[in-house]
Structure 1
């Protein structure tokens, strides 16, 4: 049994991305006992083998995972028993602002959007683990500072925030999330009455064009 085959099997079975260090630790007691360089080399060879296939071995913030190419999304989507809910324009605008201006307070987000940000939006982003509180701004009231998480990077197939498109080149969040992981559904708010949950005909928003974002 080769190291390549073992790592391929592990990553295919893993529920979450796995890093090189995690793979080394997992196999430390195995007879293979690979080094970090061994694992990196195996991953590179696996990536090369899959590069023209239906699946690819992608690197995201948390490590490596197999995923189906976005070209096959229409057919893979046929497996879904229910149409996944989509997030509202307001929520996606808020997420985009946080991604590009982090760390940022809720008040600053509202200043950029020009409207209030509902508690439900912030709750949903945090429950989804895309956003978290990273500190408090040193002003009266000590408002919370929000930033994106490693889960956000993983979901949007990013290794780091440096991979976000330059804001001047982006006009909607679809460009940021074009390679969304196919086996995750976008979940709306549990409160069906909240206007923040998008209707089936909703579209992803344009990013705020406020110059303060640049």
Structure 2
């Protein structure tokens, strides 16, 4: 494929690059990385400026291009969420239905990863079952992390790019302030400190 399009006038070349980038993002089942988009445009083309121009064109449409999970993806605007739900149409980015407890476990893993099932049980004061972990893994929200340095070397769990994509985040830095979760009584500060230290130590060793 001709990436450079040197025979086209600058304006038409830019327009073709915009259309290529939009087509790739539209067709993709997951967020498209900068590296992938760079394969369809010229070497000196600015991906960021192309995305800015595409977003400007979509300003009055019911969908947009958003930055999630280290790439870009087409998403319908939140203002039209109720219309989409009312249509009962199956959507490609629909998040799996989770119980309240599964959502809380996923939240804890997101903040304290890598973390073991045993440490999750300490946080919640009751056992976090293998079935709960399996449900979150089946939703592609979790993956296995490094082995814990504790006796028995149990597996730890970490979140995935699918987790970021499903919840509209670029990185884990986009997670809400954890103090708000403590104020809501969802997590214990003592356990948070202990698990946070463990997670940092494990991350440094991996």
TM-score for the superposition, normalised by structure 1? 0.73
Residues 6-27 of structure 1 deviation map (CA, whole Å, 9 limit, x = unaligned): 21222222222111210122x2
Deviation at 1:210, TM superposition (A): 0.9
- Higher deviation after alignment, 38-47 or 49-58: 49-58
Larger Rg: 2
Within-5 A mapping of 1:58-207: 58-80=66-88, 86-170=97-181
**CA distance 1:97–1:2, change in 2 (3 Å):** same
Structure with the larger helix share = 2
Q: Which runs of 4+ in 1 moved over 3 A?
A: none
Match of 2:10 in 1: none
Deviation at 1:138, TM superposition (A): 1.0
Confirm or deny: 8 A CA contact 1:100 1:213 kept in the other structure.
no
Confirm or deny: 8 A CA contact 1:129 1:152 kept in the other structure.
yes
| Residue 192 (structure 2) pairs with residue 213 (structure 1) | yes
Greater relative contact order (Cα < 8 A, sep 6+): 1
| Residue 19 (structure 2) pairs with residue 5 (structure 1) | yes
Deviation at 1:2, TM superposition (A): 2.2
Q: What's the RMSD between the two structures over aligned residues?
A: 2.4
**CA distance 1:35–1:170, change in 2 (3 Å):** farther
C-alpha distance in structure 2 between counterparts of 1:98 and 1:141, whole Å: 20
**CA distance 1:170–1:51, change in 2 (3 Å):** farther
Deviation at 1:39, TM superposition (A): 2.4
Which segments of 5 or more consecutive residues in structure 1 lack a partner in the other structure?
28-32, 173-205
TM-score for the superposition, normalised by structure 2? 0.75
Aligned positions, number: 174
**CA distance 1:61–1:81, change in 2 (3 Å):** closer
| Residue 34 (structure 2) pairs with residue 56 (structure 1) | no
